[in-house]
Amino acid sequence: MTAIKAQEDSSVEQNKVAESQYSNHEIEQIKNQIQHARQELSSINSEKETRIFELDQLQSKIISTRNELESLKSQQEAKYQEISLAKKELEFIEKELAAVSTKDQPAEKIENTQKIIEAAGAIAASINAKYEAARKELEVVKIALARAKEEHATTKKELDSLKTELGSKRVTE
């Protein structure tokens, strides 16, 4: 307590010295300048905090957008591959049909029929591959759903046991 009193006395003495050196008007001007500088500093700090918050939001959006872009690129690549495969199948079928229509000789009909069967087999293989990919994806979704159901059931049991435990504690209190 005496240290505070000593500081106050020292501050009063400093003010007296300052009053003797400067007029009251000058002191008020200096006080106003100090107050104005403090307000300006406060405003700058507030603006800085706002800009930092906006920067964080923008960085978050950039990361999100980059992730979305990567996802879209991988989807685009998959579609390009699918389209390329379909184009190759179409070209093969067109060549085979052109070869069949230009050749009407009996010996070549058997060969042409075999080529048509091969083309149909290639198309069927492509469709089967697409079917298998979709089936595998469906299996993954089914497994994820089963896990989610199990987790839900476990969580529900835990919640019920906690409710029961809490209810028994309230009865004993």
In this prediction, residues 103-127 reach a mean pLDDT of 70
pLDDT at 76 over 70: yes
pLDDT at 35 over 90: yes
pLDDT band (50, 70, 90) for residue 105: low
pLDDT at 78: 82
Token pair of 67 as six digits:
């992730």
Report the distance separating Cα 29 and Cα 18, nearest Å. Answer: 13
Report the distance separating Cα 30 and Cα 148, nearest Å. Answer: 69
In this prediction, residues 101-127 reach a mean pLDDT of 70
Q: Name which of 97, 86, 75 is nearest 127 in CA terms.
A: 86
pLDDT at 20: 60
pLDDT at 81: 84
Report the distance separating Cα 72 and Cα 75, nearest Å. Answer: 5
Token pair of 2 as six digits:
């005496």
In this prediction, residues 91-98 reach a mean pLDDT of 74
